[in-house]
Chain A
Amino acid sequence: MSSSGSPMRDFLIRHREGLLLVILVISSILIISRQVQDNTGTSYFRRSVMMIAAPFQSGSSAVISGVRSIWGDYLFLFGTRAENTKLRDEVNQLRSEVQELREELYRVGRLEEFSSYRFETGFTGMAAQVIGESPDPWTRTIVVNRGTQEGMKRSLPVVTPDGLVGSVVKTSEHSSIVRLIVDRSSRVPVLVSRSRARAILEGESSGTCQLKYLDRIEDVQQGDIVITSGLAGIYPRGIEVGTITQILTRSHGLYQYAKVLPKAPINRLEDVLIIRTEQSLEEE
């Protein structure tokens, strides 16, 4: 009689690592299937993780911002020959205060820009600070410090005075995830401002976007401004999105394509404005 037990037990023990791999992969595929088929609302798992992660992201963002500020402002002073310790300390202190004031001034300036943008466009909404970015290198999202407690909802458009940034995709109590227009999953119905040609703007992840389904007979040129068309109901009409930098016309097919450089500074966002659309106000 074998001392190792039944053949089934032997098999399970011998292949436990492979079986674990299969179980984990199948479980993951089932989890993904459920989300892809039924992608409504924010899952409890995601909401819990976002709630726990938000203070860490906010804290680390503040620390890193502080470290970068010190690095940028004081590193080269270490190498200089000190003439007088007391004077140097005073200079450092004054520099620090000036830097703080500059930062404050910059922030106030940005908020004023937001305020005048709201006044000019008639949009209502709230300002939010960017506290993190996606930990997945293939997903272009940011985390902002406003959540359901502050009135955030899914699908609200996010802008800066320069142009469209993206839309809210997930919310938790005090933070939300915003999908940027350069994310591969992003689709924005747009118009070419000059010729009123309609198209769909898709993200390319690399910091640019592409105009698709643009009829090949439409008149588009490099430098044309692209704005939101307001057709899908998510983005209000008339928000500036970007500038056409390249037109790609093939010898065949119904459509032409164009590269679009976003107007908003997608790779260095600090503050954004979340717009309350008519649809969201009606829902309230």
Chain B
Amino acid sequence: MRYFYFPFLFVATLILQSAAVPAVLPGWFVDGFDLPLIIVLHIAMTRGKIPGMMTGLVIGYLQDAMSGGVIGFNGISKIIAGYVGGYLKEKFFVRSMTHRTASVAGAVFMALLAKIAVLALFAQPRPSLLSAQFFWGFVGNTLLALLIHALLVRFETVFGIRAEEELSLGD
């Protein structure tokens, strides 16, 4: 179970994002919903910076390859999300719900910001920092990241996949 968990999680995430999410969620929400980002944050916040960055590398590049855009934009964004997520987890992601929410919000914000910065660097079309798409992407992904993280932690606890230093929802 432990060995197949991560490949399964990655594949399921990309398939869900590309097929199920547009079919189930309303269009205005799909525009900002980034399930792969949420999974990268979950790995970073339970396993640390290096697993977070490596997850970001793999999942971000696969996401780029499947979306038809330039390969690397999501790669960079997710690598940075993995690093920031791991860093915030080490520094702040402890007992209180407030710290946890702030950490996740910070990591989501940095990931979105990194993607916009790289898009700007290469003069590619991008949403404005003041756009509704950026705002809802930030708020929606933060809330869903907290929820999905809690669910995955429960799941990993039940099936014995948790990392030693991982924090449970009830802490």
Q: Which of A105-113, A134-142, A276-284 contacts B (4 or more CB under 8 A)?
A: A134-142
Structural contact, B53 and A24, CB atoms closer than 8 A = yes
State how many angstroms separate the Cβ of A103 from the closest Cβ of chain B: 16
Interface residues as binary, B45-77 with A (CB distance below 8 Å gives 1, 0 otherwise):
000011001000100011111111111111110
Whether A169 contacts B22 in the complex (CB less than 8 A), given A17-B86, A135-B17, A206-B31, comes out as no
Interface residues as binary, B1-23 with A (CB distance below 8 Å gives 1, 0 otherwise):
00000000001001101111011
A45 to B65, CA, bound (A): 7
For A139, what are the chain B residues with a Cβ–Cβ distance below 8 Å? 67-69
A21 to B83, CA, bound (A): 7
**Contacts of B119-158 to chain A: CB distance below 8 A:** 121-122, 124-127, 133, 137
**Contacts of A178-194 to chain B: CB distance below 8 A:** 178-179, 184-185
Interface residues as binary, A162-185 with B (CB distance below 8 Å gives 1, 0 otherwise):
000000011000000111000011
Smallest CB-CB separation from B75: which chain A residue?
A28
Smallest CB-CB separation from A177: which chain B residue?
B68
Main SS at interface, chain B: helix
A46 to B121, CA, bound (A): 23
For B93, what are the chain A residues with a Cβ–Cβ distance below 8 Å? none
Interface range on chain B (Cβ under 8 Å from partner): 35 or more
Interface residues as binary, B111-122 with A (CB distance below 8 Å gives 1, 0 otherwise):
000010010011
Structural contact, A21 and B80, CB atoms closer than 8 A = yes
Structural contact, A43 and B71, CB atoms closer than 8 A = yes
A112 to B158, CA, bound (A): 53
State how many angstroms separate the Cβ of B34 from the closest Cβ of chain A: 5
A45 to B133, CA, bound (A): 30
Kindly state whether residue B30 has any CB partner on chain A within 8 Å. Answer: yes
Smallest CB-CB separation from B64: which chain A residue?
A136
Contact of B118 among A32, A49, A169, A267 (CB under 8 A): A32
Kindly state whether residue B160 has any CB partner on chain A within 8 Å. Answer: no
Structural contact, B18 and A36, CB atoms closer than 8 A = no
For A185, what are the chain B residues with a Cβ–Cβ distance below 8 Å? 69, 124-125
For A170, what are the chain B residues with a Cβ–Cβ distance below 8 Å? 68
Structural contact, B49 and A141, CB atoms closer than 8 A = no
Kindly state whether residue A60 has any CB partner on chain B within 8 Å. Answer: yes
**Which residues of A pack against B, CB within 8 Å?**
16-17, 20-21, 24-25, 28-29, 31-33, 35-36, 39, 43, 45-46, 49-50, 53, 56-57, 60-61, 64-65, 68, 132-139, 141, 143, 169-170, 177-179, 184-185, 203, 205-207, 267
A to B CB contacts below 8 Å, 17 in the list: A17-B53, A17-B86, A20-B50, A24-B57, A32-B71, A36-B122, A60-B19, A133-B19, A134-B67, A135-B66, A136-B73, A136-B74, A139-B69, A177-B67, A178-B68, A185-B125, A207-B27
